[in-house]
């Protein structure tokens, strides 16, 4: 069971806006910035959002991230068929045993 909780699945039709949530705690999301990764099945994850809401060069502005308290969200507007992929949130957890990197369980996005 992941430290960060994501819905296992999400879906939308082309052109729609969808959001994916990532719930954590004060020791992880509450204390650090959140990254989002996009993973097309059979390929390596790709950095989509970092520092809660920053997009790397080349990532369309249809993708946006936000964070509030111990939760984060990824929003995809103008949904396209190529957005069908798995999406993972991630951050550091500042546990008493020492910091460790954590991923959410991943959300499979289906474009209907």
Partner 1 sequence: QITLKESGPTLVKPTQTLTLTCTFSGFSLRTSGVGVGWIRQPPGKALQWLALIYWNDDKRYSPSLKSRLTITKDTSRNQVVLTLTNMDPVDTATYYCAHAPPPYSNYLFRWDYWGQGTLVTVSS
Tell me if 44 contacts partner 1 by CB under 8 A: yes
Quick one: which of 7, 12, 30, 105 contacts partner 1 (CB under 8 A)?
105
SS (H, E, C) 28-82: CCCCCCCEEEEECCCCCCEEEEECCCECCCCCCCCEEEEEECCEEEEEECCCCHH
Alpha-carbon span 72 to 23, nearest angstrom: 6
Cβ distance to partner 1 smaller for residue 6 or 79: 6
Tell me if 14 contacts partner 1 by CB under 8 A: no
Cβ distance to partner 1 smaller for residue 13 or 57: 57
Tell me if 106 contacts partner 1 by CB under 8 A: yes
Tell me if 37 contacts partner 1 by CB under 8 A: yes
Tell me if 92 contacts partner 1 by CB under 8 A: yes
Q: How many CB atoms lie within 10 A of CB 13?
A: 9
CA 60 to chain centre: 15
Contact residues toward partner 1 (CB under 8 A) are: 2, 31-33, 35, 37, 43-47, 50-51, 56, 88, 90, 92, 94-95, 97-106
């Amino acid at each position: 069971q992941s430290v960060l909780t994501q819905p296992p699945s999400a879906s939308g039709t082309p052109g729609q806006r969808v959001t994916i949530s990532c719930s954590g705690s004060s020791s992880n999301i509450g204390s650090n910035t959140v990254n989002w990764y996009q993973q097309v099945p059979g390929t390596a994850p790709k950095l989509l959002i970092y520092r809660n809401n920053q997009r790397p060069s080349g990532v369309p502005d249809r993708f946006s991230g936000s964070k509030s308290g111990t939760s984060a969200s990824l929003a995809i507007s103008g949904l396209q068929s190529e957005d069908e992929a798995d999406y993972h949130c991630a951050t550091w957890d500042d546990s008493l045993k020492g910091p460790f990197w954590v991923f959410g369980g991943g959300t499979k996005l289906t474009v209907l």
